[in-house]
Amino acid sequence: MPKLAKFTLAFDEKKDKWTLRNDRTNRVEQSFGTKARAMRGGVLKRAVGRNGGSVKIQKENGRVQEERTYPGRKDPRKSKG
């Protein structure tokens, strides 16, 4: 099974927007005006794409708030810790 793509949703102070970046390529996949708009029903799932991936959602101060996997069935069954 191939590894999931990893993304980070973080606030970009320079652009005053929330950006979804591909962690491997550091490319901005999509930008949002507010965090609520980014997390609204299915927006992140569509942005991650058909192959799915893991999204780290950060707070405005840069700390990780939560991590989501799309689609949910690709979430690892066991994790250490």
- Under DSSP, is residue 44 helix (H, G, I), strand (E, B) or coil? helix
Query: What pTM, to 2 d.p., does this model score?
Result: 0.81
Per-residue pLDDT of the chain (81 residues; tens, 9 = 90+): 567 889 999 999 999 999 999 999 999 999 999 999 988 878 888 877 777 788 899 999 999 999 888 776 666 666 665
pLDDT for 4 equals 80
Strands 5-12 and 17-22, bridge-based pairing: antiparallel
pLDDT for 73 equals 63
By C-alpha distance, which of 36, 43, 44, 1 is closest to 17?
Answer: 36
Handedness of CA 43, 46, 7, 79 (dihedral sign): positive
By C-alpha distance, which of 80, 77, 81 is closest to 69?
Answer: 77
68 and 44 in contact (C-beta within 8 Å)?
A: yes
